[in-house]
A = this chain, B = another copy of it.
Amino acid sequence: VISKLERRTVAYHESGHAVAGWFLEHAEPLLKVTIVPRGTAALGFAQYVPNENLLMTKEQLFDMTCMTLGGRAAEEVLIGRISTGAQNDLEKVTKMTYAQVAVYGFSEKVGLLSFPQRDDGFEMTKPYSNQTASIIDDEVREWVGKAYKKTVELITEHKEQVAKIAEMLLEKEVLHQDDLVRVLGERPFKASEPTNYDLFKQGFQDEEDSKNQEAAKTPQPDDDGTPSLA
């Protein structure tokens, strides 16, 4: 059974994700958030509007990183102590940032080089020197540090709102986008064109769309599915 203190930590953690995503232009907004255990491992779960970008810009990946760090930031800012609960978030952020620095060529220090991992994950040895490995590590550490700093500032600025959402969550266990709008107001950013989700809500969907929709979970930029231009 989950203790009261843990439930509270979970609620603030999830609220951190939700609020951070709400105020970051390029992050996908929250669909639903819950603190009912899912299976045996997850104490909280935040479901986002499926990311339908086939290309990701550097700005989008930065905002997604901040949103992913929103849970840990809420623990630190509002609860005052950090927990092991962010492990999964940090693993995602680690992979996402290594991909930007060493696969997508976003770092000036590393250069326009791409070292994707072998599909079978059976890497005997790194394809570069230890010095290059160290430059990559330092960039990743610095980039994640900057994203966390930004996230802590954002969470601090919206402290009361994080607390309000968390308390609502403790009470109701499930919150939908509409609940968030009531507390946080409309998102300050408007998509320039209707998203799949908008189309979905409008009942306007061709067959192919609906197939995508089914398969759509929260795609991560480290998925092999990110397409390339040739």
Does A87 lie within 8 Å of B6, measured CB to CB?
Answer: no
- What is the distance, in angstroms, from A49's C-beta to the closest C-beta of chain B? 13
- Residue among A41, A104, A196, A229 facing the most chain B CB atoms (10 A cut-off): A229
Return chain B residues, CB-CB under 8 Å to A29.
Answer: none
Does B112 lie within 8 Å of A55, measured CB to CB?
Answer: no
Does A192 lie within 8 Å of B44, measured CB to CB?
Answer: no
Does B88 lie within 8 Å of A144, measured CB to CB?
Answer: no
State which size class the interface on A falls in.
35 or more
- What is the distance, in angstroms, from A204's C-beta to the closest C-beta of chain B? 12
A177 within 8 A of B: no
Return chain B residues, CB-CB under 8 Å to A87.
Answer: 103-105, 114, 116, 226, 228
Q: Which residues of A contact B (CB under 8 A)?
A: 1-6, 9-10, 13-14, 40-46, 52-59, 61, 69, 71-72, 81-91, 93-94, 103-106, 110-116, 122-126, 128-134, 136-137, 140-141, 144-145, 148, 192-193, 196, 208-209, 212, 221, 225-230
